[in-house]
Amino acid sequence: MAASRTGWKNRLAAWWAERVPVSGVQLRELTNEPVPNHLKKWWFALGGTPAYLFLIQVFTGILLAFYYQPSPLTAYESVAYITRHAEYGWYFRSLHKWGATFMIAAVILHQMRVYFTGAYRRPRELNWVIGMCLLLCTLLLGFTGYSLVYEQLSYWGAQVAANLSEAVPLAGSVLKHLLLGGPEYNERTLARFYVIHAAVLPVTLILLLAIHIAFVRLHGVTELRFEDEEQTEPRYYNFFPDHLYTELCIGLVLMILLSALATIFPAVMGPKANPLETPEVIKPEWFFYVVFRWLKLFSLTTAIVSAGFIVAAMFLWPWIDALLIRLTGNREISTYIGVVATILLTGMTIYEALVEH
């Protein structure tokens, strides 16, 4: 009896090995990677956090897509149906909304960690550029997702953004036309936002993420050692299963937090979009407060061109940093600039959150 069971197992294992010629050892080597000890501190493991949140966004997004109808006639009502009538619809929509907020926050925190530890420096410059693309993708996902609800604020937010893109020198009108699917916001615009939000950006993000992770694997995680660390401690630990467990724990904590927020502060329905009436107080989502404040400080063209320069400087930062170090001889120069930039960005965000206009 036992022998026949062993024989059956062996035959099944042989059948599998013939068709999938990868051994367990090979698979473990392939997926495993020595992880520097500092990643045991969770704030250094923040790169995995947006990835996990992205999975939640994909899962809840697919669920919401079963009911969402991207047309001005039906968009608001379909979201209202999800929120009020579909079973657990309020939960999945709220999870999606809070997941987006957390994902953007996690990407920003991850980028700040990389910045302040100088992890973008040679030879990892290109991965910083990929990371910047991932940040832009995440912000665009936030913007297009918010526009899909077709509330007053999301509609007028999209209008403002479309007119903003028109102010971009040279390519402005083409950009606006591409974004709206015509010279103005029309009945085909929402479908366009939907495809960008649910297909174009996620696929781009997945491809970029694959390159991002491939670069991390090729270069290895930047090593950091702390003063309080004993020199005799091993410098690395295994990705599988040790680091995976860390990520699993972070994932669970995130899920609990998101569920709590979704329950206590669920996503609600604002008034339906009215193209004939701009609301008295208009605000974008929190992650665009900085841009919104920036637009109020300068003329449109100045604001757009300066914002363009800032984003370009962020993309090219590894090389700008190297140049600054060469010129000043001070390796800490990026830290000072980073602290000033963080104070400015946080200050403008808080200021925009506090004032009405």
Partner 1 sequence: MDDSDSSHTQRPHGAGPTTGRSARRLFLRVAMAGGLVAGYGTLGVMAGRFLYSNGQPSRRWQFVTTIDALAVGDAILYEAPNGAKLIIARQKEGETDDCFAALSSICPHLGCLVHWEPQNERFFCPCHNGIFDKGGKAISGPPAAAGQQLTRFPVKVDRGRLFVLAPVESLLELNVACRSHTTCRLAGHFRARAGEPRRAEV
Rounded Cα distance, 197 and 129, in Å: 22
Distances (CA, A) of 277 to 153, 157, 308: 11, 13, 31
Q: CB neighbours (10 Å) of residue 255?
A: 15
The residues near 166 (Cβ < 8 Å, ≥ 6 apart) are 172, 173, 175, 176
**For 87-121, b where at least 16 C-beta lie within 10 A, e where not — what string?**
eebbbbbbbbbbbbbbbbbbbbebbeebbeebbbb
For the CB of residue 29, give the shortest distance to partner 1 in the complex, in Å.
Answer: 14
Query: Is position 87 an interface residue for partner 1 (rule: CB under 8 A)?
Result: yes
Minimum distance, C-beta of residue 102 to partner 1, in the bound complex (Å): 16
| Among positions 68, 92, 292, 294, the unique one binding partner 1 when judged by CB under 8 A | 92
Instruction: Tell me the closest approach of the beta carbon of residue 32 to partner 1, in angstroms.
Output: 11
Nearest to partner 1 of 87, 233 (CB atom): 87
Nearer CB in complex with partner 1: 241/308: 241
Q: Interface with partner 1 by CB under 8 A: which range of 67-75, 289-297, 322-330, 334-342? A: 67-75
Are 141 and 201 in contact, with CB atoms under 8 Å apart? yes
Neighbours of 2 (CB within 10 A): 6
Q: How far is the CB of 73 from partner 1 (least distance, A)?
A: 5
Nearest approach, Cβ of residue 241 and partner 1 (Å) = 5
Interacting residue with partner 1 among 33, 42, 86, 333 (CB under 8 A): 86
Q: Of 75-83, 108-116, 123-131, 151-159, which part binds partner 1 (CB under 8 A)?
A: 75-83
Near partner 1 by CB under 8 A, which window of 34-42, 65-73, 275-283, 339-347?
A: 65-73
For residues 342 and 266, the answer to whether their CB atoms sit within 8 Å is no
203 binds partner 1 (CB under 8 A): no
> Which member of 33, 36, 58, 59 binds partner 1 (CB under 8 A)?
59
Is residue 69 a contact point for partner 1 (CB under 8 A)?
A: yes
- Asked if 174 touches partner 1 (CB under 8 A), the answer is no
**Cα angle at 280 between 279 and 286, to 5 degrees?**
80
Query: Closest CB to partner 1 among 227 and 230?
Result: 230
Nearest residue (CB) to partner 1, 248 versus 323: 248
Residue 58 in the binding site for partner 1 (CB under 8 A): no
Residues binding partner 1: number (CB under 8 A): 24
- Name, in order, each residue with C-beta under 8 angstroms of 53's C-beta and a sequence gap of 6 or more: 99, 102, 103, 106, 254
Q: Of the listed pieces 76-84, 274-282, 285-293, 345-353, which binds partner 1 according to CB under 8 A?
A: 76-84
Angle CA 217–313–166, to nearest 5:
110
Residue 241 makes contact with partner 1 by CB under 8 A: yes
Site string for partner 1, 245-274 (x = CB under 8 A): ---x---x--x----------------x--
Residue 220 is classified by DSSP as: -
Cβ distance 53 to 96 under 8 Å? no
Q: Specify the residue, 179 or 198, whose C-beta has the smaller distance to partner 1.
A: 198
DSSP 113-176: HHHHTTTTSTT-HHHHHHHHHHHHHHHHHHHHHHHHT-BHHHHHHHHHHHHHHHTSTTTHHHHH
Which of 304, 299, 65 minimizes the C-alpha distance to 172? 304
**Taking CB under 8 A as the rule, does residue 220 contact partner 1?**
no
165 forms part of the interface with partner 1 (CB under 8 A): no
Secondary element (H or E) of residue 238: strand 236-238
> Kindly report the CA angle at 161 between 160 and 163, in degrees rounded to 5?
65
Asked if 74 interacts with partner 1 (CB under 8 A), we say: yes
> What is the contact surface with partner 1 in residues (CB under 8 A)?
59, 63, 66-67, 69, 73-74, 77-78, 80-81, 85-89, 91-92, 240-241, 248, 252, 255, 272
